[in-house]
Amino acid sequence: MEEKKLTVTFVNVGYGEAILLECPDPSRPGGVFTALIDGGSAEESEFADRTSGRLPVEEYLTKRGIRHLDLAVSTHIHEDHLCGLLRAARIAPPDVLWQTLPADFYKSLSPLDSSAARTPSESKFLRALNDYRALCGLVEERGGTILAPEAGKEWVLCPDFSARILSPCTKKRAALAEEMKVLYNNANVCKDFFSKLDALDARMNNYSLILLLDFRGTRLLLPGDTNLTGYDGIAPGDLRADLFKVGHHGQKDGADTALAEAIRPAAVVCCASSDRRYSSACPDTLKLLADCGAKLYFSDCPPVPGMSVPPHQALAFTVGSAGALEARYVPVV
């Protein structure tokens, strides 16, 4: 009998993340458990140049014939992670949405005026906040369930495949909810509002869901945009993984030697754009991960010394038991 395997696909959404999980499960319609972690950007400019193979996540799902998700995960509220997930949910409604705030929190939020933004960063963050509200509303409107999975809890996604939430802890979740409340309470006070908006935007990365997936003994660590300071309170042994998606697009604060040695991954995926925006795919970060024995892979095609990454629409891993990983770049069609 052929060994059951998990497929983990990092869609080339440019500067952003969209991770598709597909696991055989006879109990599901179609025989496959399907989940999408984040969805990349929804800005048209992100996909104006498709030389590297990038494409919006909803276009990739359509090409694959995926019209339903068992699970969608929003790791945190930033445009390059959440806004594409809203588009994906419109064509492939999820049964369950995992996110980091109380399940009914979105109902207390009012639309924010993104035209008042003073900078491109503020505009992106305002759009993400509005799309978070829209995503939650869409999921419930279509009969789905919104959950805020607790740190430390393990979820069985399907036979042989589980997910453990490593962060945010209860204290961090409460801090995020309080910051959101204060922000929205100041929505009509321009000076206070924008100072609080910028502060929350800067802290949002370390409110990311950190997921530790386990498929038949092969572990995958997916930390959203968590940077070095966001792993506080997590036991080093819990970070051990065979595949590590480096946080914050592989920027300088995405990993250091101590973190790499705790994880000891065989494979590292960096979700940096082909133009290395915001100094993503930092050479020093990539080198220290490679020096710890990891093989490097990329969801897009950033220029990396000594490596040639071919144009591709996705990076797909076939995951077996006990650390077995096989990677391939899916060519542009």
Residue numbers in the chain where pLDDT is lower than 50: none
* pLDDT value of position 134: 98
CATH architecture for residues 6-330: 4-Layer Sandwich (3.60)
Q: Which of 9, 14, 15 is nearest to 63 (CA)?
A: 9
Query: Can you give the residue ranges of every domain in the chain?
Result: 6-330
pLDDT tens-digit map of 50-105: 999 999 999 999 999 999 999 999 999 999 999 999 999 999 999 999 999 999 99
What are the residues facing 40 on neighbouring strands?
none
* pLDDT value of position 322: 86
pLDDT tens-digit map of 178-195: 999 999 998 876 778 999
* pLDDT value of position 186: 84
Q: What amino acid occupies position 203? A: R
CB atoms within 10 A of CB 149: 18
Strand ranges, E, within the chain: 6-11, 19-24, 32-37, 69-73, 94-98, 145-147, 154-158, 161-167, 210-215, 218-222, 243-245, 267-270, 295-298, 314-319, 325-330
- Max distance between CA atoms of the chain, in angstroms, equals 65
* pLDDT value of position 57: 98
What distance in Å separates the CA atoms of residue 229 and residue 206, rounded to the nearest whole number?
A: 7
**CB contact at 8 A, 224 and 210:** yes
**CB contact at 8 A, 261 and 292:** yes
Q: Are strands 210-215 and 218-222 parallel, antiparallel or unpaired?
A: antiparallel
* pLDDT value of position 2: 64
Cis, bond preceding 303 (omega within 30 deg of 0): no
* pLDDT value of position 1: 53
* pLDDT value of position 243: 98
